[in-house]
Amino acid sequence: ITNSSDIHAKQEEIRYQALHDSLTDLPNRALLFDRLNQAIIHGQRNNEQFALFMIDLDRFKQINDTLGHNTGDKLIQLVSKRLEAVLRESDTVSRLGGDEFAVLLTSVDEFQANHVAKKIGIAMKRYFNISDNHLIISASIGMAMFPTHGDTAETLLQRADVAMYQAKTEGTSVALYSPEQDANSRQSLEIESRLRET
C-alpha cells in the first residue's frame, strides 16, 4: 500500500521534472518564464532593473557532429556548471534546449550586467576537458534590460534573442539589444522569404 508521503514525494518528483532540463538539471523554459514574471513584478514594485541574457555556444554543432552526441552532452553539462559558478545564488541559469541557455540576473543595471556577460565570455573560453579532448569554445551573448527593452517575459526573451544573433553575426561575444537590430533581423527575414518565393 502506498502511503501519502510516497504519493507526495512522487508528485514533487513529477513537478520537478516538469520544470527542469533532464540533461543539466537546470531550470527549463517553463520555470524561466515563471521566474521572469516574478522578476518583472518585483522590478515594477521596487523600481529595479534586471538583465536577461540569451547564450548560444559557437561551433557546438561541429563538436557534436565530429565527436558524437555523448561528448556534446558532456560539454553541455560542463557549460552549465561553469555558468552556475560565475553567477550568484539569486540568479537563474536555464537551458532552453540544444546549446541555448538563458540567464536571468536580478537587481543589476546595464554596467553590472555587461561585467557579468564578460565574465561568462571569459569562463567559456577556458578549455573543456572531455575524455582526452581539450575543447575550446566561445559563446555569443545577447542582452536585454528590464524595463528599457521590454516589460513582458516574451518581449525580453525575444529581444535578448535578437541581440544574441547580432553578437553571432558580428563576431562580438556580447551584444546589447537595440531597436535597429529588430529592423535588421526583419529585413533579413523579408529578403529570405522573397528569395524563397522566386
Select from 111, 161, 109, 115 the least CA-distant residue to 140. Answer: 161
99 part of the active site = yes
Burial of 50 (0-12, 13-18, 19+ CB in 10 A): buried
Of 143, 140, 136, which Cα lies nearest the Cα of 52? 143
- Residue ranges of alpha helices (H) inside the chain are 4-19, 29-46, 60-67, 69-86, 110-125, 153-170, 179-197
Phi, psi of 52 (to 5 degrees): -125, 125
Catalytic residue (choose from 21, 56, 99, 161): 99
Which grid cell sits at 186?
526583419
Whole-angstrom Cα distance, residue 162 to residue 100? Answer: 13
**Any idea which residues carry the catalytic annotation?**
99
